[in-house]
Structure 1
Amino acid sequence: MRSAADRIRVAVGMVLSVMIFGTLGYWAFGFTLLDAMYQTITTITTVGFRELEEFGTAEKWFTMVLIIVGVSTVLYSFTLVVQAVVEGQLKDFVGRRRMDRQIKNMSGHSIVCGWGRVGAAVAHDLEASGERVVVVDADPERVRDVPYPTVLGDATSDNVLRDAGIERAKSLIAALDGDAANLFVTLSGRDLAPSLFIVARARSDESVSKLEHAGADRVVNPQELGAARMASFVASPNVAEFVDVVMHERSLEFRMQEFDIDRDSPIAGKTLRQANLREASGALVLALRDADGRFTTNPNGDSRIEHHHVVIAVGTHEDLARMAKLVAPA
């Protein structure tokens, strides 16, 4: 089946062909080129103001053929164009309704505001980590080919964020181009969903504290991160590449993962030695993070795991799956 664009091209080609046929025919009967074109257009459009020259038998037969062929072609072409436009609008409408229903049924997803280079990279990494993503952007051309559920609109609008399911979302990523826009998104997100985890993009250092005060849990400056990453490839290339592979490429057997320790977790209140995580799961605990955000790196066996701690571990997929069962509430 032809696409809408193909059908429109066919329609335009058919009309042009009839116009060329009529113009050449009248020109052969002695009309000037302009008069031949004028006579053709007035004939096939059924306007028919008047005949510019005296018509003989041959001209009359040619005009009758042109009327039948031309009017039929113009009407058919007009039908193709209308069909293509209506089908395109209907397809967009049906697709949007289906996507809206899909978003309404989502919960625990991540909302990425801004489909630029940063937003696209964030969305792809989130998907690779098993997260569900909804993208918000105001540019219809940019969101046309987004491979995730999308909301077309200004991300600084509360209604647009509601359409993205912010009340049911797990996290919000403000990745718009301007710091002011990301500040508004952060303020709106924190107001609409107080417990939402918000990550905001900052272009300038002075915007970092403002975004934090607005409610961002984390503020990231991609330029600074890029510079630090480039420096690490010079200073410690193997370490940097190993971290990249573990965290992003997923081509290595080992993974890093974090586990939130709930109050009802069977290991809450135990030391690492008592929890026996290494022997029972095979995963290695790299660090503990307390409720105040402080890290205990390379914890020993006497390090106590409290509820609201975050355990950061490394291991194979199977090791981490076993650890998830060990720390889950009974």
Structure 2
Amino acid sequence: MGSVGRVTSPISRLRLAAAGVALVLVLGTVGYMVLGLSLLDALYQTVTTVTTVGFRELGDFGAAEQVFTMALIVIGVGLVLYTFTLVVQVVVEGQLREMVGRRRMDRTIENLRDHVVLCGWGRVGRAVADDLVGAGKQVVVVDRDAERLGSLPYPTVVGDATLDATLRAAGIERASSLVAALADDAANLFVTLSGRTLNPQLFIVARARQEDSIDKLARAGADRVVNPQELGAARMASFVVRPHVAEFIDVVMHERSMEFRMQEVEVPPASALAERTLRELDLRQQAGVLVLAVRDASGSFRSNPAPDTVIHAGDVVIAVGTEADLQRLVALATGR
């Protein structure tokens, strides 16, 4: 599990103490060499002194050598004992295993490309992660609460999501999308600003609890702003007014056990679909899908498009069909 900003942990103190021991060994060796010992003898004398082994002194020590040795004992022995105490603490508390696991997690995140960085592991974050993973997306979860993230099967980063260093640890510069699902609108605003700055190509979806936060998040760089309360209210009203329609859309979008799915496919340049009408393409026959809508480059939707509708490069075709049907549509659009 990745972690950011934990400078007072035993692991951090152990690193500093080990660096101090190494520095004492170097200074001790150099000091004995200045006092007339060879490199090997100086290193040997330093090691036996700071480890309190003390087999023997290499040659006759005068006042200068004795004073230097006493100083080395006072500084070096204390530092070695402190380092040994930290080693025991790290092993006993299981933090060595945590450190190894964290490094493994960091390497996993470093190898990710086009993944989704999800900031916030509350009820909204959990629901988002479940749908993303179900759709085949790779997710890195960021939250400041280490206990929340302890048992997750996804790569995680413990830290403040509003900090650039935390987002970088989550691979934000290599990610395709960012979901700011923190409980606080101001925090989501900072996450959105940081994400847009670190990766201008990022697709950002931000959560908003207050109505007046929606425009602010959009101006900060969010491509989509979602108010879960409003969506939940609209969904509840739909079940009252149009229960069968609402349930069908809900099942198609989220129920993994149903045969049919809804999918969007962007038409790339030189695609076999480009500059042809829906009648010519006959996608119901070729791919088995039903085209529900087409979105053009300006963002306008053409729902229930007529057979004479021309598909252009850059359009997004929204269709419904089985998983196999939708894969055939993707193959027709991309040539793969």
Matches within 5 A, 1:147-158: 147-158=153-164
Larger relative contact order, structure 1 or 2 (CA cutoff 8 Å, min sep 6): 2
Percentage identity across paired residues of the two chains: 64
1:329 and 1:308 map into 2 onto residues whose CA distance is 15
- What corresponds to 1:226 in structure 2? 232
Indicate conservation of the 8 Å contact 1:271/1:301, yes or no. Answer: yes
1:292 and 1:206 map into 2 onto residues whose CA distance is 26
Give how far 1:252 is off.
1.1
- What corresponds to 2:39 in structure 1? none
1:166 and 1:182 map into 2 onto residues whose CA distance is 15
Give how far 1:86 is off.
3.3
**2:181 corresponds to which letter in structure 1?**
A
2:147 and 2:117 map into 1 onto residues whose CA distance is 19
1:129 lines up with 2:135 in the alignment: yes
Q: CA RMSD in A?
A: 1.5
Indicate conservation of the 8 Å contact 2:90/2:96, yes or no. Answer: no
- What corresponds to 2:111 in structure 1? 105
TM-score calculated relative to the size of structure 2: 0.72
Q: 1:287 aligns with which of 293, 296, 318?
A: 293
**1:164 corresponds to which letter in structure 2?**
A
**Structure 1, unaligned stretches of length 5 or more?**
1-78
Describe the superposition over 1:151-190 as per-residue Cα deviations: whole angstroms up to 9, x where unpaired: 1111111111111111111110000011110001111111
2:256 and 2:150 map into 1 onto residues whose CA distance is 28
Give how far 1:146 is off.
2.1
Corresponding residue pairs, total:
250
**1:167 corresponds to which letter in structure 2?**
E
Q: Do the aligned partners of residues 84 and 210 (structure 1) sit closer, same or farther apart at CA in structure 2, a change above 3 Å counting?
A: closer
Give how far 1:329 is off.
4.2
- What corresponds to 1:241 in structure 2? 247
**Structure 2, unaligned stretches of length 5 or more?**
1-84
Larger Rg: 1
1:110 and 1:327 map into 2 onto residues whose CA distance is 24
Give how far 1:284 is off.
0.6
Indicate conservation of the 8 Å contact 2:261/2:321, yes or no. Answer: yes
- What corresponds to 1:172 in structure 2? 178
- What corresponds to 1:90 in structure 2? 96
2:334 and 2:134 map into 1 onto residues whose CA distance is 23
Indicate conservation of the 8 Å contact 1:133/1:149, yes or no. Answer: yes
Indicate conservation of the 8 Å contact 1:173/1:198, yes or no. Answer: yes
- What corresponds to 1:140 in structure 2? 146
- What corresponds to 1:40 in structure 2? none
Q: Secondary structure at the match of 1:307?
A: coil
- What corresponds to 1:119 in structure 2? 125
Give how far 1:322 is off.
0.8
Indicate conservation of the 8 Å contact 1:111/1:134, yes or no. Answer: yes
Describe the superposition over 1:65-95 as per-residue Cα deviations: whole angstroms up to 9, x where unpaired: xxxxxxxxxxxxxx9xx58853610111011
**2:279 corresponds to which letter in structure 1?**
R
TM-score calculated relative to the size of structure 1: 0.73
Give how far 1:147 is off.
2.1
2:335 and 2:326 map into 1 onto residues whose CA distance is 16
